[in-house]
Structure 1
């Protein structure tokens, strides 16, 4: 099996094989499809069925689910680091997360009220996030420096493509609310489950046992020493600010398209899928340029800033768009920017992670920089779109402009403050 010494404190050295990377890409694709189709389309459909005209509820549902996962993610990370099993430390959490996520989607499909939809998405989002976090931690465990950019590019590309194809799948079965949720979820679950079967992680039974979990160790698992690890801290902050801007400009995408194109929400899936398919090429370019070139040039921070700048340009295009061509231009630029930023920043994280034998915990802390914005930004965005709103039209212009400014600020923080990575 192509891996480094799992659980050791040193840098991974052994290169990942092409076969391992291929199955990792498929698993990343599956996790993204199962998570993002409900988030970007399915839940909006359920809201229009159960409470038409109350699109701000989307922010409450997604924000609450993110907050719940935010609380449990360090516990999952600590548990993962200490797991000793024949399947390894991370693989059991791929299976656990997949089962919980799929159950949550079924609950949403049957839900008779928005309260049950919210409860179902807490399960669904938590489950798919647990599985996705296990995949990322495996990369932190195994990836040597020379492969971090390109493998992050390839897995990041899968997470860009999966929602687009997934929404296409959902649109094809849009006459059935249940299938909108379950079909992408089943596809995602199969791809996740196959990864450890074809590329087993290896037993962790012989790894040294860590200290027993105590209340103090759990509490400390929610943070880290900022003074001891300044680069990790600054990167965390830059990522946090960037993702607030990103979620400002993506959470209400389905409703944004419906308003600007004067279409019913249920019919927007075709537009979302079409725009997304066009944007896949841009996302591919962003991931490949960012990942492969940053590996080759051994420069990371410059590409992070470039991603933030491109995001601003895309946000400006979306904020002023009232036609499909301009919406496509803005969406393509933002997909390019997100892929570029996320790919290279993930490579930075793998390089500066403080204690590799606690990679699960530190990756969970890193996820705070994405999960807190995912929880808070939809709630704030639900307020922002009401500022200056006229009649039934929400103020998406203001929302997209604010999101662009925040994304740029995040890129600048990483460029100017992270010193140990070029």
Structure 2
């Protein structure tokens, strides 16, 4: 199938920032992504699984996996849709800011409604709205790295984003672990925090007005055909997509089901498992921030991205083997430290690599970044639901989840090697 014109808008002149404005942008990206991923991880990994377990303890893993599958199934197109639409926005606030503001408000309203839901189906509806909205915000936010940082600084930008995602994610788990017995307070803290930081981001990083930009109409049919990126025409993009897909397919089940792993594999009670989640996050935070920032700067300095990603994948595969060999809380602590090293390096350098393999198509950077995001959104939907039959087949032994994750991560590293346009 040949690529079709998606009717993308005419791209304005690049709005690269330098000096003080660049430093403010980097700091703002760090704060906003940190809070966003604190919300993602705090809600999805701690607060929500605790709420689901209270509804039906005997079927908690299956119910939680179902909610995540439905949620992410409905939000697969959110990020690329936001990218395609934000490429066309004409407003005094620019192209990205209106999406960041509106989507944040909708997502936070859905988070606040979660505590009122008393059935699995109702929780799933709230999660669909929340995830769709925040993904509509995250797409334009991620594209700002390519919009406003020149190529010489994108590694630094991706390093800040990567470190923020990992640090914020772990911080969110820490906070949520101590708020797990006060679910409404937990949901409210995260929902209001992301609203505040998104408002501040837009205020301190004003975009040029796009009110008078020339744009072409949005065509839904062309939008969906635009999801197709011909791997023969853009093989490096294809390999990067598959590599990211396999990576998240592997690690997401371990990340998503970690609370239940502590309860049913390490055999901790509910209170101890929530506190252990916080301790695991502290341990990981000690390794991930430094790893993410250093990896970003080293990749720009050495101009080597592909092999950094492969090395990070191997570190994560090693980490995943530790709970299999040492199925104790100590083993989980060691796993958390080693995984943090690899994961921070992976997500920081992977973003820098992806910005360099995007198809050279006019006015499609936001959409193509959104298409690439599918490679981590779809596995988030599939991974937990695929883990359920594995657990049933192996008598609810969570070791099989770690084994499956290792296989996927190692396959991911092999997919990065054929990339030719990036060292």
Scaled to the shorter chain, the TM-score interval is over 0.9
| Structure 1 contact 238–413 (Cα < 8 Å) conserved | yes
**Equivalent residues in 2 for 1:252-331, closer than 5 Å:** 252-331=257-336
SS of the residue corresponding to residue 75 of structure 2 reads helix
* TM-score normalised over the length of structure 2: 0.92
Residues 9, 266 of structure 1: alpha-carbon distance in 2 compared, 3 angstrom cutoff? farther
Matching residue of 2:3: none
Structure 1 residues 232-269: Cα deviation after superposition (integer angstroms, max 9, x where no partner): 11111111111111113212111001223322335422
Do structure 1's residue 151 and structure 2's residue 157 form an aligned pair? Answer: yes
Cα distance between partner residues in 2 of 1:275 and 1:72: 31
| Structure 2 contact 253–383 (Cα < 8 Å) conserved | yes
Matching residue of 2:419: 418
Do structure 1's residue 53 and structure 2's residue 58 form an aligned pair? Answer: yes
Matching residue of 1:7: 11
| Structure 1 contact 254–272 (Cα < 8 Å) conserved | yes
Cα distance between partner residues in 2 of 1:148 and 1:249: 30
Matching residue of 1:100: 106
Q: How far apart are 1:18 and its partner, in Å?
A: 1.0
Residues 360, 266 of structure 1: alpha-carbon distance in 2 compared, 3 angstrom cutoff? farther
Moved over 4 A (4+): 8-16
Structure 1 residues 6-50: Cα deviation after superposition (integer angstroms, max 9, x where no partner): 934879685762122111211111211222211111111111111
Cα distance between partner residues in 2 of 1:317 and 1:60: 28
Matching residue of 1:378: 384
Q: How far apart are 1:168 and its partner, in Å?
A: 2.9
Q: Which stretch shows the higher mean deviation, 41-50 or 354-363?
A: 354-363
Do structure 1's residue 240 and structure 2's residue 245 form an aligned pair? Answer: yes
| Structure 2 contact 77–374 (Cα < 8 Å) conserved | no
**Equivalent residues in 2 for 1:4-43, closer than 5 Å:** 7-8=11-12, 17-43=22-48
Matching residue of 2:352: 347
SS of the residue corresponding to residue 76 of structure 2 reads helix
Q: How far apart are 1:289 and its partner, in Å?
A: 3.1
Do structure 1's residue 196 and structure 2's residue 198 form an aligned pair? Answer: no
Q: How far apart are 1:287 and its partner, in Å?
A: 0.8
Cα distance between partner residues in 2 of 1:271 and 1:260: 13
Cα distance between partner residues in 1 of 2:378 and 2:277: 26
Cα distance between partner residues in 1 of 2:408 and 2:352: 22
Residues 116, 60 of structure 1: alpha-carbon distance in 2 compared, 3 angstrom cutoff? same
| Structure 1 contact 35–128 (Cα < 8 Å) conserved | no
Do structure 1's residue 405 and structure 2's residue 407 form an aligned pair? Answer: yes
2:341 aligned residue (324, 332, 336): 336
| Structure 1 contact 232–349 (Cα < 8 Å) conserved | yes
| Structure 2 contact 82–139 (Cα < 8 Å) conserved | no
SS of the residue corresponding to residue 237 of structure 1 reads helix
Q: How far apart are 1:53 and its partner, in Å?
A: 2.0
Residues 155, 11 of structure 1: alpha-carbon distance in 2 compared, 3 angstrom cutoff? same
| Structure 1 contact 314–330 (Cα < 8 Å) conserved | yes
| Structure 1 contact 86–202 (Cα < 8 Å) conserved | yes
Cα distance between partner residues in 1 of 2:176 and 2:64: 18
| Structure 2 contact 249–379 (Cα < 8 Å) conserved | yes
Structure 1 residues 341-364: Cα deviation after superposition (integer angstroms, max 9, x where no partner): 111110011122223622221111
| Structure 2 contact 320–339 (Cα < 8 Å) conserved | yes
Matching residue of 2:142: 136
- How many residue pairs align between the two structures? 411
* TM-score normalised over the length of structure 1: 0.92
Cα distance between partner residues in 2 of 1:357 and 1:213: 13
Cα distance between partner residues in 2 of 1:387 and 1:28: 38
Cα distance between partner residues in 2 of 1:135 and 1:222: 20
Q: How far apart are 1:374 and its partner, in Å?
A: 0.8
Matching residue of 2:214: 208
Cα distance between partner residues in 1 of 2:12 and 2:235: 23
Cα distance between partner residues in 1 of 2:309 and 2:87: 29
Q: CA RMSD in A?
A: 1.9
Cα distance between partner residues in 2 of 1:196 and 1:301: 33
Cα distance between partner residues in 2 of 1:19 and 1:38: 28
Query: Structure 1: 5+ residue runs without aligned partners?
Result: 1-5
Residues 356, 268 of structure 1: alpha-carbon distance in 2 compared, 3 angstrom cutoff? farther
| Structure 2 contact 82–137 (Cα < 8 Å) conserved | no
Cα distance between partner residues in 2 of 1:213 and 1:155: 30
| Structure 1 contact 241–410 (Cα < 8 Å) conserved | yes
Matching residue of 1:365: 371
Do structure 1's residue 217 and structure 2's residue 225 form an aligned pair? Answer: no
Do structure 1's residue 179 and structure 2's residue 185 form an aligned pair? Answer: yes
